[in-house]
Structure 1
Amino acid sequence: MLKKLFQAFRPPQSPNLPDPDAELALGALLVRIAQSDRAYLVEEISLIDRILARLYGHNALEAAKVRATCEKLHAAAPETDTFGRLIRETTGLEERLAALDALWEVVLADNREHEGEIEIVNDACKAMGLSVIDNKRARARARSKLDTQPVPQGDA
């Protein structure tokens, strides 16, 4: 059913897009969040690649290729809840919680929470079958991870 839904929304000129699975759905959500504030920063792209590598065991090149596919899928795909439902229907609770953590990591990557980004995470959380409490905990885990990362030193 989800395959047909994606095909209905997919533009006819993009036949090279694969049918999304949980990995591509999460990647597309990560890209959607990163692009939602109209500033798709190198730091966000790099973070998405690291998240895809961490969660799915990719090397840097493989993660970048997956992200590039996710960028195309995001551009051609329907609503956020469709990706969330696909993740809910194809993964277990631990994987969905890890996906939610990853979404918050991208939201917090620039140390600013934009309203559009938060809306995407909230919609995805609900579609993944996770609770408001799960969402708050994921945000806190992502914030904690960000707070413990070393601050890059500038060229002095």
Structure 2
Amino acid sequence: MLQQIRAFLADLVAADQETPRFDADDRRLAVAALLAHVIGIDGFVSAEERARLEDVLARHFSLSVEDARALADAGREAELESVDLYRFTSVVKRGAPLEERLAVVEMLWELVYADGVVHEFEDNVVWRIADLIGVETRDRVLIRQEVAAGVAKTASETAEG
């Protein structure tokens, strides 16, 4: 009996070490939740949007594929449990320097453009999030233009090649 309890506890500890934990005040979780919100705002989350979410998180936070997937899942779950954006935007605004907040807006636009269609709800939610995290309108618009230009350039290179 004692061996079974030890084995059970060892399994719990091993499982706990395999899956990264993201606390409620973890900026990475807040960002993941905001990104999950923006890709779901139009009512449909495509496989490409999900994959882009994981890729963006992996690149921005220097995570492995598995950890980025775990963070994306945790972000989606936190976003579904939340009643508003303030829970996440306050964590980002309070704990992130301006450069990181600008990077969050860039990630948001990357995900908005992931499916090739900018829905008015997506545009509006990026505006609201940028405002709540203290990113000026001018910066938000410039970042959007840069991301859109990058998407257009990638699309034309893909068509040519």
TM over 0.5: same fold?
Answer: yes
Residue matched to 1:44 = 49
With normalisation by structure 2, the TM-score equals: 0.79
Deviation of residue 152 (structure 1)? 7.8
Verify the 8 A CA contact 1:17 1:72 in the aligned structure 2: no
For the structure 1 residues 17 and 63, does the alpha-carbon distance in structure 2 shift closer, same or farther, using more than 3 Å as the test? Answer: closer
1:64 is aligned, of 60, 69, 76, to: 69
Residue matched to 2:122 = 117
With normalisation by structure 1, the TM-score equals: 0.82
Deviation of residue 100 (structure 1)? 0.4
The percent identity for this pair of structures is: 24
| SS of structure 2 residue aligned to 1:27 | helix
The yes-or-no answer on 1:151 pairing with 2:150 is no
Q: Which moved more, 1:99-108 or 1:141-150?
A: 141-150
Verify the 8 A CA contact 1:22 1:87 in the aligned structure 2: yes
Residue matched to 1:99 = 104
Distance in 1 (alpha carbons) for counterparts of 2:153 and 2:43:
27
Unaligned residue ranges in structure 2 (runs of 5+): 1-20
Deviations 1:43-89 (A, max 9, x none): 00111111101110001111011000001000001312332222111
Distance in 2 (alpha carbons) for counterparts of 1:36 and 1:62:
24
| SS of structure 1 residue aligned to 2:158 | coil
Residue matched to 2:113 = 108
Deviation of residue 20 (structure 1)? 3.7
1:139 is aligned, of 109, 133, 144, to: 144
Deviations 1:89-141 (A, max 9, x none): 10101100000000011111112111111111111000111111011011012
Which structure has more helix as a fraction of its residues? 2
Q: Which moved more, 1:20-29 or 1:122-131?
A: 20-29
Q: Which moved more, 1:74-83 or 1:124-133?
A: 74-83
Amino acid at match of 1:69: A
For the structure 1 residues 152 and 89, does the alpha-carbon distance in structure 2 shift closer, same or farther, using more than 3 Å as the test? Answer: farther
For the structure 1 residues 89 and 27, does the alpha-carbon distance in structure 2 shift closer, same or farther, using more than 3 Å as the test? Answer: same
Amino acid at match of 1:50: D
Amino acid at match of 1:67: A
Distance in 2 (alpha carbons) for counterparts of 1:28 and 1:51:
13
Unaligned residue ranges in structure 1 (runs of 5+): 1-15
Distance in 2 (alpha carbons) for counterparts of 1:88 and 1:94:
11
Q: Which moved more, 1:73-82 or 1:90-99?
A: 73-82
Aligned positions, number: 138
Verify the 8 A CA contact 2:22 2:29 in the aligned structure 1: no
